[in-house]
């Protein structure tokens, strides 16, 4: 008999929910069989902890006396510029924002030791942040300059709002050129010197619900150590990519836009990150519970790293020049073994997303569900799946005539 989210929530409230992580469920289903396991298991928890650039937070800092209109002015948080094109005291700090005086890649490869992601980490950690602002002054908002310390606890709202997190699979990167390159996929050594990848694989939220049968808008999730919600499909949402027989996308497909109260999050799960030669970003912890509503839903959660295929691209040429020329396919089990064979060469592999920390997220969420600290929500609208026909379009440049 299919379960409902309401029934599962009743069990969660009574402390009776049967919960496994996406890693554990593989063995459980192998042992009990799909039918019996579907009857017994209520929720499977997932997790991922990797650098996610489309992350940021909006803050309402409160009104100064006299008032200042930051909107249309300039705001810096610890020297990192924040976006101000909003109402008087609402600002948005993005993960990849870089201080104006950072040498960037003028000193190549740039170190990017401090940026928006680091501001968010320090804010969440409860540290004072230096705000410096200039504005043009109006009759109702006369002030033109503001320099003050701000602290998370004093802000009216501090909301983490990430436009694209938890990518459902991702490119695997290597370098075919004869020099080392510095990318968002890490340092790639020359002549197939190494291969990097960035997915929690069998623990990754959307790889455990490949057709978005349970994860939808309104789904409550583990977000940065606190609680958040799926706000929308993430940007670059691309459900129509090639998939394996099991429905697993062979490259970046679905993504999630997530929202949550920064005030209850933790700097253990929002870590300011620096990609050498690329820029600053934020490593974000996300965990999504999957309610086991049917055998089909459970079957998808038993996906293993052996069944998840990543597509390898050359980041020295094909990727930067946007040519869809994969140079191979590899399973995450092969990637996690530490070495793969590519073009007849044994190539060492490295991960950019942390599997141990993804597992910790899945286990934390499991604990929350088992102790009644976290209840499931019913999605209010589905994410567009394969039948939507939605694709991720490249930019068609149209020359501007002068």
Contact residues for another protein, defined by CB under 8 A? 49-51, 109, 111, 113, 186-187, 189, 193-196, 271-276, 283, 336-338, 348-357, 359
Smallest distance from the beta carbon of 393 to another protein, in angstroms? 30
Active-site annotation holds for 140: yes
| Count of positions (residues) in the chain | 402
Any idea what DSSP says for residue 396? Answer: -
Smallest distance from the beta carbon of 363 to another protein, in angstroms? 13
In degrees, rounded to 5, the angle at the alpha carbon of residue 117 between the alpha carbons of residues 113 and 123 is 110
On the 0-12 / 13-18 / 19+ scale of CB atoms within 10 A, 258 is: buried
Which of 140, 321, 346, 397 is labelled catalytic? 140
On the 0-12 / 13-18 / 19+ scale of CB atoms within 10 A, 346 is: exposed
Any idea what DSSP says for residue 272? Answer: E
| Residues whose CB falls within 8 Å of the CB of residue 21, separated by 6 or more in sequence, listed in order | 44, 45, 46, 47, 203, 359, 362, 363, 366
CB nearer to another protein: give 133 or 282. Answer: 282
Contact between residue 206 and residue 254 where contact means Cβ atoms under 8 Å apart: yes
CB nearer to another protein: give 55 or 238. Answer: 55
- The structure tokens listed for 160 are 């983490």
Smallest distance from the beta carbon of 359 to another protein, in angstroms? 8
Smallest distance from the beta carbon of 24 to another protein, in angstroms? 15
CB nearer to another protein: give 98 or 238. Answer: 98
CB nearer to another protein: give 195 or 342. Answer: 195
Distance, CA of 57 to CA of 262 (rounded, Å): 8
Smallest distance from the beta carbon of 76 to another protein, in angstroms? 22
Q: In 10 A of CB 206, how many CB atoms?
A: 27
CB nearer to another protein: give 363 or 388. Answer: 363
Kindly list the catalytic residues. 140
């Amino acid at each position: 008999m299919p379960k409902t989210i309401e029934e599962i929530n009743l069990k969660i409230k009574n402390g009776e929910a049967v919960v496994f992580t996406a890693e554990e469920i593989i063995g459980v289903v192998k042992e009990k069989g799909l039918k019996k396991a579907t009857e017994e298991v209520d929720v499977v928890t997932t997790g991922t902890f990797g650098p996610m650039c489309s992350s940021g937070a909006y803050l309402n800092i409160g009104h100064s006396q006299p008032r200042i209109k930051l909107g249309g002015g300039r705001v810096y948080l610890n020297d990192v510029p924040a976006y101000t094109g909003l109402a008087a005291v609402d600002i948005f700090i993005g993960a990849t924002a870089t201080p104006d005086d950072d040498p960037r890649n003028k000193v190549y490869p740039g170190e990017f030791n401090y940026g928006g992601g680091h501001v968010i980490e320090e804010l969440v950690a409860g540290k004072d942040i230096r705000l410096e602002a200039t504005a043009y002054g109006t009759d109702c908002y006369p002030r033109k300059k503001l320099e003050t310390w701000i602290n998370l606890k004093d802000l009216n709202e501090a909301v983490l709002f990430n436009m694209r997190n938890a990518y459902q699979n991702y490119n695997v990167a290597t370098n075919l050129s004869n020099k080392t390159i510095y990318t968002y996929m890490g340092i790639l050594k020359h002549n197939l010197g190494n291969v990097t990848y960035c997915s929690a694989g069998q623990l990754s939220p959307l790889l455990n619900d490949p057709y978005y049968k349970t994860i939808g808008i309104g789904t409550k999730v583990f977000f940065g150590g606190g609680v958040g919600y799926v706000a929308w499909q993430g940007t670059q949402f691309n459900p129509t990519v090639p998939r394996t027989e099991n429905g697993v996308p062979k490259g970046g497909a679905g993504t999630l836009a997530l929202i949550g109260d920064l005030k209850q999050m933790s700097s253990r799960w929002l870590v300011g990150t620096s990609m050498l030669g690329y820029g600053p970003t934020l490593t974000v912890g996300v965990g999504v519970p999957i309610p086991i509503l049917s055998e089909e839903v459970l079957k998808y959660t038993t996906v293993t790293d052996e069944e998840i295929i990543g597509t390898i691209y050359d980041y020295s040429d094909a990727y930067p020049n946007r040519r869809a020329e994969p140079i191979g396919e590899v399973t995450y089990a092969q990637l996690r073994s530490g070495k793969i064979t590519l073009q007849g060469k044994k190539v060492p592999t490295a991960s950019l997303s942390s599997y141990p920390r993804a597992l910790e997220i899945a286990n934390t969420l499991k604990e929350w569900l088992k102790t009644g600290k976290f209840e499931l929500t019913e999605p209010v609208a589905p994410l567009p799946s394969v039948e939507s026909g939605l694709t991720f379009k490249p930019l068609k440049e149209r020359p501007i005539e002068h």
